[in-house]
Amino acid sequence: MTDSKYFTTTKKGEIFELKAELNSDKKEKKKEAVKKVIASMTVGKDVSALFPDVVNCMQTDNLELKKLVYLYLMNYAKSQPDMAIMAVNTFVKDCEDLNPLIRALAVRTMGCIRVDKITEYLCEPLRKCLKDEDPYVRKTAAVCVAKLHDINAQLVEDQGFLDTLKDLISDSNPMVVANAVAALSEIAESHPNSNLLDLNPQTINKLLTALNECTEWGQIFILDCLASYLPRDDRESQSICERVTPRLSHANSAVVLSAVKVLMKFMEMLPKDLDYYGTLLKKLAPPLVTLLSAEPELQYVALRNINLIVQKRPEILKHEMKVFFVKYNDPIYVKLEKLDIMIRLASQANIAQVLAELKEYATEVDVDFVRKAVRAIGRCAIKVEQSAERCVSTLLDLIQTKVNYVVQEAIVVIKDIFRKYPNKYESVIATLCENLDSLDEPEARAAMIWIVGEYAERIDNADELLESFLEGFHDESTQVQLQLLTAIVKLFLKKPTETQELVQQVLSLATQDSDNPDLRDRGYIYWRLLSTDPVAAKEVVLAEKPLISEETDLIEPTLLEELICHIGTLASVYHKPPSAFVEGSRGVQHKRLPPRAGSGESTESPDVGQSGPSEAPPAVIPSQGDLLGDLLNLDLAPPTATVPSVQPSMQMGAMDLLGGGLDSLVCSSPAMGAGLGAAPAAMPASLGSAPAVGGGLGDLFDLGGGVGMPTGSYVAPKTVWLLAMKAKGLEISGTFARRGGIIQMDLSLTNKAMSVMTDFAIQFNRNSFGLAPAGPLQVLTPLSPNQTIDVSLPLSTSGPVMKMEPLNNLQVAVKNNIDVFYFSCQYPLSLLFVEDGKMDRQVFLATWKDIPNDNEAQFQIKDIHLNSDVASNKLQGSNIFTIAKRTVEGQDMLYQSVKLTNGIWVLAEMRIQTGNPNYTWMCWRRPHVRECVSQNDSPVIS
């Protein structure tokens, strides 16, 4: 007889019958009845009415029956909280049973009964079980603490269970250790700033010992926990790596990936010239490749992670291209991921093989896969210059197939190739034009139009071609309309005589007959530009375009670092930070890789890019090869969460266009023209933080213009800290200022909701410099809809101190009558420079000599045309005091001191070379402060 018979008894009055059977004296009958109840439960019938009868069966010696009753309890206790109390006694008794299996079963089930009233009764039994002599009971009890914490966190803390749990990390049994670690990690997740997992070298050692002995799952818990540890130095980091590497040979893919996570993270701390660093790199490749022989779902997770690893450390897999070749029977999601990695690994050495493969894929039947393969060919052309010609001819071959979607994809990528290698492959334009009629996707149409506009002078019938598109102007998508407008204006500027009518037609279509504001605005800009100053128009529209970079859709570095810390998890699969998809994790600290080894050496310091635009960031083709990334759609660029770094590079001119509109356009420098003419150029992601950066233009140097007067400390323009959509209509923007020795937080509160807001209050989380509100938030009148109030909140530095990451991060909570909202912002460090920061010359000299070499750092600030006196005057406005000045071989050296509110001194040397607009600023006192200051000094000086 099998259990399936229980599913078949569905007569009327069933509940009544069951009730009778449950109360039977015969054990067998009782058990049968409980089974029937469970069967009904499984198929979704409500059998909660039998609660008291089933609970009555709980006191039994029969383990199987007991398990069934417990199962029932777990399901229905929540709906019958009052009756669930009835079960408490049995639980307490079972927790003292002679049989450890029953003790464990009781403690396991207890935790699953999510009824508040019961939990209190469970504390005592749980306490005993945590100290049980049998490891099986202890390991179950450890998990129960996490369960209880989920129901009533306060209770768990009050009862001291957390300490008991911590003690279990030193348990003699590896499985108990593993479960305790898992439970603690789980609890710590809901207490982001708690010091629950107090990891120190001793506990780490215990974990590493348990790692060798526990089950595969336990190993994963321990490895995941290890990954959150920050070793003190490279030596500790190396010794942990050495003990983790054997896990790479584990048969379970999840163990391997978790080990890879630990290694990838700790490697960051190893000096690159260390032999061990090289050994480790070599050891990582084979296990990653082997993951590709796992089940397809695991392959998928592995591939998504390899995609990250390849971006972070391309050297690991650079010789492994072949393993990513697509197999005919791979599931589609594996195929697409492999393709992505193939492109990332493509290099001059392997490009021939890659291209042959891609061509093969492009003739398959799966449309999405084929599209991606065609796109991949284009990306190869852009990435590996030597292969461009071969790629183009491959694409032309594919266009000859006349398969509609292949042709369209090919045209989209050829446009990018034209951008990358101008004036090289235009011979193919004729072939492209032949396929004009078959293009029905907006992206392909827009690409084709761009090509026609860009090379209008070489295409005899360019006007006819564009005119043919114009006929159905209103039916086109915005993307195509915008492109058509730009293309016709280009055509007009190149062949003004024949196309006047056409350009008028398109301008009127765009400005008068369109509801689309983007289109209208662009139409007007062109119109006025053309009518005011055709020469300027030519300079603007036909200006040289910034180059596009070889790499497409690279993950932004800070996000990449965070994702590396999440290898193996959903975040690494989605390529999104956990805060993007896990509710309630907003306040949680973003994980960061440990500080890089040797970042003190300035030349290779990754921070260089932040203090000076030594290399202008290359423009990136958006992943969709999006033509929309042109001038007027800059504001569509995704806002990135990066620290707004001021980059006074030429692209900034383009940013200004947005705010300044026509006026600034006309009188702008040629650099701005480049921005405008760069129709299909997307701006680098970092400039997505436009509002903050744009303000860089109106900064001190430009406004003060070398007047040589102390202008007071630099105040950054307000930026939006809290979006209205995230705070039920309340938008907060703000900045920080130091006025007369008082630190102030300037806030603008805007009500974008429908109802009035009142009762504002503000609070800060503990932070690195103990910033705290010096008084209440003064919003006296209620904030009515669409109203904005500016408030200045004086701050003190006497609040509680906790080191934040980054150092100048400030987490703020704002309350109003609707809810409490949280956001975090970063304050310029110059806020903390106090007025009495002028160091005595003698003291300066003595201290300067004492600074150890590794506390030294160097930054370059570029493009500043000021002499040293003006600069030092300006800096004094921000409480950066010049102590001494000397001139050596045409170089002015300023020696400066700064004192922070918490009494830390920072000493600096600034070199200014006459005639060279670059400043070199070096030598800081405290390593932590140093990095932050480097981020902040640019706005102060510039």
- Verify binding: residue 247, other proteins, rule CB under 8 A: yes
Cα 37 off chain centre by: 49
Nearest to 939, CA basis, from 660, 771, 695, 652: 695
Q: Binders of other proteins among 44-63, rule CB under 8 A?
A: 44, 62-63
- Verify binding: residue 74, other proteins, rule CB under 8 A: yes
SS3 730: strand
Q: Angle at the Cα of 885 (from 880 to 887), degrees rounded to 5?
A: 140
Sole window of 37-45, 486-494, 829-837, 869-877 interacting with other proteins (rule: CB under 8 A): 37-45
For residue 917, the minimal CB distance to other proteins (Å) is 46
Using the rule CB under 8 A, which residue among 122, 263, 301, 716 binds other proteins? 301
Q: Report the b/e string of 520-553 with b at 16+ CB within 10 A.
A: eebbebbbebbeeeeebbbbbbbbebbebbbebe
Sole window of 94-102, 419-427, 457-465, 511-519 interacting with other proteins (rule: CB under 8 A): 94-102
Nearest to 924, CA basis, from 885, 896, 887: 896
CA 902 – CA 881 distance, rounded (Å): 17
Q: Report the b/e string of 435-457 with b at 16+ CB within 10 A.
A: beeebebbbbbbbbbbbbbbbbe
- Verify binding: residue 4, other proteins, rule CB under 8 A: yes
For residue 565, the minimal CB distance to other proteins (Å) is 11
Using the rule CB under 8 A, which residue among 30, 33, 47, 139 binds other proteins? 139
- Verify binding: residue 243, other proteins, rule CB under 8 A: yes
What single-letter DSSP state applies at residue 721?
E
Largest Cα span, the chain: 106
Instruction: Identify the H or E element spanning 908.
Output: strand 905-913
Nearest to 139, CA basis, from 185, 101, 93, 178: 178
Sole window of 3-11, 374-382, 840-848, 895-903 interacting with other proteins (rule: CB under 8 A): 3-11
SS3 899: strand
- Verify binding: residue 9, other proteins, rule CB under 8 A: no
For residue 201, the minimal CB distance to other proteins (Å) is 19
Residue found under tokens 């042959």 = 356
| Bridge pairing between strands 772-773 and 742-751 | unpaired
- Verify binding: residue 323, other proteins, rule CB under 8 A: yes
Sole window of 197-205, 281-289, 487-495, 680-688 interacting with other proteins (rule: CB under 8 A): 281-289
Q: Binders of other proteins among 95-114, rule CB under 8 A?
A: 99-102, 104, 108, 111-112, 114
Q: Any idea of the CA torsion for 643, 647, 653, 657, to the nearest 10 degrees?
A: 10
Residue pair 155/123 in contact by the 8 Å Cβ criterion: yes
Q: Binders of other proteins among 765-794, rule CB under 8 A?
A: none
Q: Binders of other proteins among 795-854, rule CB under 8 A?
A: none
User: Beta-carbon neighbour count of residue 253 at 10 Å?
Assistant: 20
Nearest to 115, CA basis, from 66, 148, 155: 148
Residue pair 145/129 in contact by the 8 Å Cβ criterion: no
CA 143 – CA 132 distance, rounded (Å): 14
Sole window of 17-25, 551-559, 564-572, 811-819 interacting with other proteins (rule: CB under 8 A): 564-572
Sole window of 247-255, 418-426, 448-456, 906-914 interacting with other proteins (rule: CB under 8 A): 247-255
CA 334 – CA 342 distance, rounded (Å): 12
For residue 317, the minimal CB distance to other proteins (Å) is 13
Cβ closer to other proteins: 140 or 307?
A: 140
- Verify binding: residue 560, other proteins, rule CB under 8 A: no
- Verify binding: residue 882, other proteins, rule CB under 8 A: no
Using the rule CB under 8 A, which residue among 47, 50, 68, 716 binds other proteins? 68
- Verify binding: residue 582, other proteins, rule CB under 8 A: yes
- Verify binding: residue 318, other proteins, rule CB under 8 A: no
- Verify binding: residue 405, other proteins, rule CB under 8 A: no
- Partnered with residue 388 across adjacent β-strands are none
Peptide bond into 806 cis (omega under 30): yes
Q: Binders of other proteins among 734-763, rule CB under 8 A?
A: none
Nearest to 571, CA basis, from 898, 261, 125, 888: 261
Residue found under tokens 């006497």 = 798
Instruction: Identify the H or E element spanning 909.
Output: strand 905-913
CA 795 – CA 668 distance, rounded (Å): 40
Using the rule CB under 8 A, which residue among 394, 481, 514, 572 binds other proteins? 572
CA 604 – CA 144 distance, rounded (Å): 50
- Verify binding: residue 328, other proteins, rule CB under 8 A: yes
Using the rule CB under 8 A, which residue among 15, 17, 29, 67 binds other proteins? 67
For residue 21, the minimal CB distance to other proteins (Å) is 16
> Site mask, other proteins, residues 202-241, x = CB under 8 A?
----------xxxxxx--xx--x-----------------
For residue 285, the minimal CB distance to other proteins (Å) is 8
Sole window of 358-366, 443-451, 501-509, 873-881 interacting with other proteins (rule: CB under 8 A): 358-366
CA 212 – CA 706 distance, rounded (Å): 67
- Verify binding: residue 192, other proteins, rule CB under 8 A: no
Cβ closer to other proteins: 89 or 212?
A: 212
Distances (CA, A) of 856 to 840, 892, 924, 929, 936: 21, 20, 5, 11, 17
For residue 335, the minimal CB distance to other proteins (Å) is 11
Q: Binders of other proteins among 360-389, rule CB under 8 A?
A: 360, 363-368
Cβ closer to other proteins: 296 or 618?
A: 296
Sole window of 580-588, 749-757, 829-837, 839-847 interacting with other proteins (rule: CB under 8 A): 580-588
Cβ closer to other proteins: 208 or 643?
A: 208
CA 20 – CA 591 distance, rounded (Å): 58
Using the rule CB under 8 A, which residue among 21, 340, 357, 892 binds other proteins? 357
Sole window of 36-44, 440-448, 667-675, 779-787 interacting with other proteins (rule: CB under 8 A): 36-44
Cβ closer to other proteins: 149 or 344?
A: 149
Q: Binders of other proteins among 111-130, rule CB under 8 A?
A: 111-112, 114
- Listed in sequence order, the residues at least 6 apart from 248 whose beta carbon sits closer than 8 Å to its beta carbon are 256, 259, 260, 283, 284, 286, 287
Using the rule CB under 8 A, which residue among 95, 264, 377, 571 binds other proteins? 571
- Verify binding: residue 179, other proteins, rule CB under 8 A: yes
Residue pair 268/241 in contact by the 8 Å Cβ criterion: no
- Verify binding: residue 720, other proteins, rule CB under 8 A: no
- Listed in sequence order, the residues at least 6 apart from 34 whose beta carbon sits closer than 8 Å to its beta carbon are 22, 54, 57, 65, 68, 69, 72
Using the rule CB under 8 A, which residue among 10, 12, 25, 251 binds other proteins? 251
For residue 253, the minimal CB distance to other proteins (Å) is 6
Using the rule CB under 8 A, which residue among 246, 496, 785, 800 binds other proteins? 246
For residue 368, the minimal CB distance to other proteins (Å) is 6
For residue 287, the minimal CB distance to other proteins (Å) is 6
Sole window of 64-72, 160-168, 468-476, 708-716 interacting with other proteins (rule: CB under 8 A): 64-72
- Verify binding: residue 574, other proteins, rule CB under 8 A: yes
CA 453 – CA 432 distance, rounded (Å): 14
For residue 342, the minimal CB distance to other proteins (Å) is 12
Number of residues that bind other proteins (CB under 8 A): 110
- Partnered with residue 911 across adjacent β-strands are 893, 920
- Listed in sequence order, the residues at least 6 apart from 869 whose beta carbon sits closer than 8 Å to its beta carbon are 708
Residue 295: left if φ>0, alpha if ψ -120 to 50, beta else—which one? Answer: beta
For residue 4, the minimal CB distance to other proteins (Å) is 4
Residue found under tokens 């446009």 = 415
